[in-house]
Amino acid sequence: MNKEAPLKADESVSVAIPRTLPSEGFVRIETVLAVIPISKTAWNDGIREGLFPPPVKLGTRLSMWNVADIRTLINHLSNTPWQVQS
């Protein structure tokens, strides 16, 4: 049996982040930000302001977003005219 050595504190694992949404289910913040290109801070500000959907807590340390909510947001943003804020 081939066992891999555990990661050391200064090592990381690279994970591919999908650039498209699955047809249904839940996605992590990295996937949301790959399809809606804003910063994590701007995303969290938008959640607090009620502009973006809140996450679904699937555990004490796991927050994910419903794909249907993200698709609804994309459709809304696509149909909203851009306005310059002064």
pLDDT value of residue 2? 57
In a domain, 59, yes or no: yes
- pLDDT digit of tens for each residue in the chain (86 aa)? 556 666 566 666 566 667 789 999 999 999 999 999 999 999 999 999 999 999 999 999 999 999 999 999 999 988 887 766 65
Residues counted in the chain: 86
Both tokens assigned to 36: 């809606």
* pLDDT score of 19: 75
pTM, full prediction: 0.73
pLDDT at 79: 86
Tell me the chain's radius of gyration from C-alpha atoms. 17
- Quote the CA–CA distance of 35 and 25 in Å, as a whole number: 15
Distance CA 44, CA 50 (A): 10
16 domain residue, yes or no:
no
Q: How many domains does the chain have?
A: 1
Residue 68 lies inside a defined structural domain of this protein: yes
Cβ(32)–Cβ(70) below 8 Å: yes
| DSSP-derived 3-state class of residue 66 | strand
Q: Is residue 54 part of a domain?
A: yes
